């Protein structure tokens, strides 16, 4: 995910929140009823979105008008 997606940070944060709820619901099931594939894909997606969010918040805050980095 590139820097051009910075306007969608709130959407990514909401997606992580929904994925965490889905993971929690899946883990609430009995072990024999859990879907191993679902667990793997949800965890993988959460990690990808969190990596983007961490990278974006770390030092990619830019002015919405001129595009310069903010201190």
Does 25 map to a domain? yes
**Cα gap 38→27, rounded to integer Å:** 10
**Cα gap 50→61, rounded to integer Å:** 16
Does 66 map to a domain? no
**Cα gap 64→15, rounded to integer Å:** 24
Q: pLDDT higher for 33 or 66?
A: 33
Quick check: 60 and 7 in contact, CB under 8 A?
A: no
Give kind and range of the element (H or E) at residue 42: helix 36-59
Does 14 map to a domain? yes
Does 70 map to a domain? no
Does 22 map to a domain? yes
Does 65 map to a domain? no
Per-residue confidence at 1, pLDDT binned at 50, 70, 90?
A: very low
User: pLDDT tens digits, residue range 16-41?
Assistant: 999 999 999 999 999 999 999 999 99
Count: domains in the chain: 1
């Amino acid at each position: 995910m590139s820097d051009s997606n910075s306007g969608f940070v709130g959407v990514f944060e909401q997606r992580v929140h929904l994925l965490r709820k889905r993971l929690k619901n899946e883990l609430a099931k009995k072990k024999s009823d859990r879907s191993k594939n679902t667990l793997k894909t949800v965890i993988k997606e959460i990690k990808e979105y969190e990596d983007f969010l961490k990278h974006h918040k770390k030092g990619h805050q830019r002015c919405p008008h001129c595009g310069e980095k903010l201190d």
